[in-house]
Amino acid sequence: MKRIDPERQAKLKKRRAAPLATPSDLSAEATRDLSGVMNAILADVFALYLKTKNFHWHMSGPHFRDYHVLLDEQATEIFAMTDDIAERVRKIGGPTIKSIGHIARQQRILDNDADFVQPLDMLAELREDNKQLSGNLREAHEMCDTHRDIATASLIENWIDETERRTWFLFEASREADSTGH
């Protein structure tokens, strides 16, 4: 009969006691750091999604349809990020966001609960929020580089591109015409 190594047996027992400890070749420190930064990104993405939908629902004015459709498209794109972020955190062995309260404690994108916001102010605020998200994603990318997490870095590169596109569209949609009407 083959004897099980006591060290291996202890590791197996510990793994069974922590069912969410997905095996990874990343160090425990990398898993902790990357899970932390990506959960903060996830909280920001949920906050940005809800703010974008809020402004979509409360849009008004002469450009209502254009802005309403733009924000709906952007909200859909933002929401699509959430599952990929959470699943990436789980793939590297970390826990992820569990509640609205958890999001509120981690988000860096500020809420807007105002009863009325002018349409151009909505677009400007979302533009700045997307710029902030781009910066937060770049910081997360640096953490990925530090821990050699190429897969998360690759996803982040695509999200930065999408976020910069949203920023660009919001900028262009909110530009005021100059004195010549252009």
pLDDT at 174: 92
pLDDT(141) > 70: yes
CA distance 71 to 114: 18
- Contact between 137 and 88 under an 8 Å Cβ cutoff? The reply is no
Q: Which amino acid is at 118?
A: Q
**What is the band of 178 on the pLDDT scale with cuts at 50, 70, 90?**
very low
Average pLDDT of span 28-57: 98
pLDDT(147) > 60: yes
CA distance 154 to 130: 19
Give which of 162, 178, 177, 159 is closest to 74, Cα–Cα: 162
pLDDT at 85: 98
pLDDT(91) > 60: yes
Per the rule left: phi > 0, alpha: psi between -120 and 50, beta: everything else, 99 is beta
Walk me through the domains of the chain, giving residue ranges and CATH numbers: 27-174 (1.20.1260.10)
pLDDT(119) > 70: yes
